């Protein structure tokens, strides 16, 4: 079985990616919930100053992660408890039938793709990431606003488990240098090579991991490549490995979801996500590799 198999046990009724014009056409649909998942310095203030009309804000650190004092346990952005995520969805007025469109100001590499992955992983069907993000929607004519948005009151969103596959540090230990498996590091090449590390304590990469920067999912204008291009690019790297033998990671389990989103857009089965990623691995006395350029 190869990665060409469609998303197993996860119906994909709509594309994981939505174009700005398609979002404009959906604007007045009652089931539509738009989420701004921008994060980083000033993100909440930027949202308050201007966001897509009707969009609600979700915070990566407090709502899409359960950050611990000890980063060596689960990395910088561990997944929240299921109860915590249920509360987040309920507070945003999201129900199992909502059509959720998520955007950020970095075309999904901030937290939009992470929120997409989390929703898909609790079984939510109608969720998409906005291609081109906030700027593309504004350019296409979607109205913006600075008003305070109020979510609809809903019944609690019931969640039972994470359904998409996950890997932990123990599994990485076992399979990282096994050629039947593939560990994909989606960070920038300089971080992977060990030339620069602006966030975590140690530079380098997991021994045996290959580097496919998440930026290669995008064209020169910052939009996702076509599904056909993405599929061809990734199958060249993955070969005939089954999805369960591919593990994707980044610095803290956020940007890796951009690549999982790209794979889903390509019609490929979603591989495992290593949420702890480099931030966990590099703090646990594991072997570290670097790549020196000649």
d(CA 31, CA 8) in angstroms, rounded, equals 26
Torsion of CA 228, 234, 238, 243, to 10 degrees: -70
Contact call for residues 110 and 39 (beta carbons, < 8 A) = yes
The DSSP output letter for 81 is P
Contacts of 218 (CB under 8 A, 6+ apart): 107, 224, 225
Q: Which of 92, 172, 250, 270 is catalytic?
A: 250
d(CA 143, CA 14) in angstroms, rounded, equals 24
Q: What is the DSSP string of 87-154?
A: HHHHHTT--TT-EEEEE-TTTTTTTHHHHHHHHHHTT--SEEEETTHHHHHHHHT--EE-SPP-PPP-
257 catalytic? Reply is: no
CA atoms within 13 A on the CB side of 113: 28
Q: Partners of 32 in the beta sheet? A: 99
Contact call for residues 101 and 18 (beta carbons, < 8 A) = yes
Residues with a known catalytic role: 250
């Amino acid at each position: 079985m190869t990665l060409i198999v469609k998303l197993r046990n996860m119906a994909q009724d709509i594309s994981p990616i939505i174009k700005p014009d398609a979002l404009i056409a959906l604007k007045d649909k009652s089931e539509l919930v738009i989420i701004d998942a921008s994060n980083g310095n000033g993100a909440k203030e930027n949202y308050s100053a201007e966001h897509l009309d009707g969009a609600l804000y979700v915070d990566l650190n407090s709502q899409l992660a359960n950050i611990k004092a000890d980063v060596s346990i689960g990395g910088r952005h561990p997944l929240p408890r299921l109860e915590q995520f249920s509360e987040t969805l309920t507070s945003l007025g999201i129900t199992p039938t909502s059509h959720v469109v998520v955007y950020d100001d970095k075309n999904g590499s901030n937290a939009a793709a992470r929120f997409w992955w989390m929703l898909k992983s609790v079984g939510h069907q109608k969720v998409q990431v906005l291609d081109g993000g906030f700027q593309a929607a504004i350019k296409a004519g979607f109205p913006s606003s600075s008003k305070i948005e109020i979510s609809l009151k809903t019944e609690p969103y019931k969640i039972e488990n994470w359904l998409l596959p996950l890997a932990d540090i123990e599994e990485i230990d076992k399979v990282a240098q096994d050629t039947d498996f593939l560990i994909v590091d989606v960070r920038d090449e300089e971080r992977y090579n060990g030339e620069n590390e602006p966030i975590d304590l140690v530079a380098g990469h997991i021994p045996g991991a290959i580097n496919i920067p998440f930026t290669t999912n995008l064209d020169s204008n910052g939009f996702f490549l076509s599904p056909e291009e993405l599929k061809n690019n990734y199958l060249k790297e993955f070969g005939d490995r089954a999805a369960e033998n591919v593990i994707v990671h980044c610095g803290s389990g956020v940007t890796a979801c951009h690549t999982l989103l790209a794979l889903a857009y390509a019609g490929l089965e979603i591989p495992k996500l290593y949420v702890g990623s480099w931030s966990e691995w590099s703090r646990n006395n594991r072997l570290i590799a670097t790549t020196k350029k000649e």
